[in-house]
C-alpha cells in the first residue's frame, strides 16, 4: 500500500569510513541558555587512523528542493584513534563528552566538546588505561558517574583480561555495591570483599 511504501527507508547519504565499528548519535546545545540543540554522529574507524564526528546541517545545499541535498550530516572533526572499536557519548553535569575505545593501544580516550556553534570542537580530556578495551559505557550511582571499560583480549592475559571501571576513589564501595545489586555479579562482589574494587581513576580533566 501507499502507507507501507512511505514508511520504507531510502538512502539519503553515504559517509566514507574505514572499517567502522559502530556509530553513536548525541545531541547538545552549544552557546548557553536558549541555544539550539545540535545533532552529532561519531563513527570509529577501526582500520583507519581516526574517529569521524559529523554535525547535522539544515541550511546547506544548492537551492533545490531535494531533501537529500539540503539536509545532511557534514564532517565537523576527525579525532586521532588507533583501532577504535566503539564510541560512547555521555554527559558529566552539562559537559558533553565522547569516549573512544582504542583497542590497539589499550586506552579509553575521552574528549570534551568546547566552544560555540558553529565553531565547537572536541578537545582531549583524559586517557584511561584499559588494556584490550573494546567498548565502554557510563552509569549513574546517586550523583556519581563511573565509566566501565570492557576488555576484549590482550597479548598477556588473553581472553581473561579484567575489565576496568574508572571513578572517584572515595566512591568505590558505593559504586561497587550498586553494581553487585544491579547485576548480581560474583566477580564484582569478590572485588568489594577484598577491598580491591576496580574503580580507581578520577573522571576529571588531566593537566
Average pLDDT per consecutive 10 residues, the chain (207 residues; last block may be shorter)? 76 93 95 84 97 87 51 95 98 94 97 94 96 94 88 93 78 50 47 44 45
- pTM score, two decimals? 0.76
What integer pLDDT is reported at residue 207 of this predicted model?
45
Count of domains observed in the chain: 1
What integer pLDDT is reported at residue 19 of this predicted model?
96
- Which range marks the domain in which residue 78 is found? 24-167
Question: Are the CB atoms for 138 and 128 separated by under 8 Å?
Answer: no
What integer pLDDT is reported at residue 93 of this predicted model?
86
What integer pLDDT is reported at residue 4 of this predicted model?
75
Residue 76 counted as domain residue: yes
Residue 192 counted as domain residue: no
Nine-digit cell at 4? Answer: 507501507
Residue 123 counted as domain residue: yes
Cβ neighbours, 10 Å, residue 195: 9
Residue 9 counted as domain residue: no
Residue 201 counted as domain residue: no
Residue 151 counted as domain residue: yes
Residue 190 counted as domain residue: no
Contacts of 21 by beta carbon, 8 Å cutoff, 6+ apart: 44, 46, 84, 85, 86
Residue 186 counted as domain residue: no
Amino acid at each position: 500500500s501507499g502507507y507501507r511504501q512511505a514508511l520504507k527507508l531510502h538512502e539519503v547519504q553515504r559517509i566514507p569510513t574505514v572499517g567502522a565499528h559502530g556509530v553513536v548519535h548525541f545531541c547538545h546545545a552549544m552557546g548557553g541558555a536558549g541555544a539550539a540543540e545540535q545533532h552529532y554522529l561519531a563513527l570509529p574507524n577501526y582500520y583507519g587512523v581516526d574517529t569521524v564526528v559529523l554535525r547535522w546541517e539544515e541550511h546547506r545545499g544548492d537551492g533545490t528542493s531535494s531533501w537529500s541535498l539540503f539536509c545532511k550530516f557534514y564532517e565537523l572533526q576527525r579525532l586521532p584513534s588507533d583501532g577504535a572499536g566503539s564510541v560512547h557519548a555521555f554527559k558529566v553535569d552539562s559537559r558533553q563528552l565522547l569516549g573512544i575505545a582504542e583497542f590497539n593501544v589499550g586506552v579509553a580516550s575521552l574528549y570534551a566538546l568546547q566552544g560555540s556553534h558553529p565553531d565547537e570542537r572536541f578537545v582531549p580530556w583524559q586517557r584511561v588505561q584499559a588494556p584490550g578495551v573494546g567498548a565502554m559505557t557510563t552509569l549513574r550511582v546517586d550523583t556519581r558517574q563511573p565509566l566501565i571499560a570492557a576488555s576484549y583480549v590482550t597479548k598477556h592475559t588473553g581472553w581473561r583480561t579484567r575489565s576496568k571501571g574508572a571513578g572517584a576513589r572515595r566512591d568505590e564501595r558505593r559504586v561497587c555495591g550498586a553494581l553487585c545489586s544491579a547485576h548480581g555479579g560474583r566477580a564484582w562482589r569478590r572485588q568489594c570483599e577484598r577491598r580491591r574494587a576496580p574503580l580507581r581513576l578520577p573522571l576529571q580533566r588531566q593537566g
